[in-house]
Amino acid sequence: MRTVERAATMLVGHAIKTARALKGLSQKELADRVSVSAVSLQGYETGKVNARPDLLDAIAKATGAPREFFNPPDLIEAAPDERDLLASYRRITTAPGRADALNAVAAIEAGREVRAC
């Protein structure tokens, strides 16, 4: 498993553990409710095993947490310049400013000249 995939699996596992704890359930209790062994649940919570979508549906139902709580994050490996670009975009606080930035990127992709802002 790649490092990025492993990180995503660990974050989902943390979400499972958090939802279980907030509901006041032991690993055994949640495992019984979703028809897996306590050992399997422990593997999901520690991120050693990737939980299937249908299992995440059952965990959401059993804990009362929204299903989206268990969605794996979109983790991608980004080069330093890509991270800089994203950080710059996030510093733009207005909708028109963000629209201008996206239009500039689209213009660059299309090979057109970008007007100064």
pLDDT in tens, 107-117: 888 886 666 55
User: Which of the four pLDDT bands, split at 50, 70 and 90, describes residue 84?
Assistant: confident
How deeply is 45 buried, as exposed, middle or buried, from its count of CB atoms within 10 A (0-12, 13-18, 19+)? Answer: buried
| Helices and strands in the chain, H and E counts | 6, 0
**In terms of Cα–Cα distance, which of 39, 44, 49, 50 is closest to 19?**
44
- Once rounded to an integer, what is the mean pLDDT over residues 56-79? 85
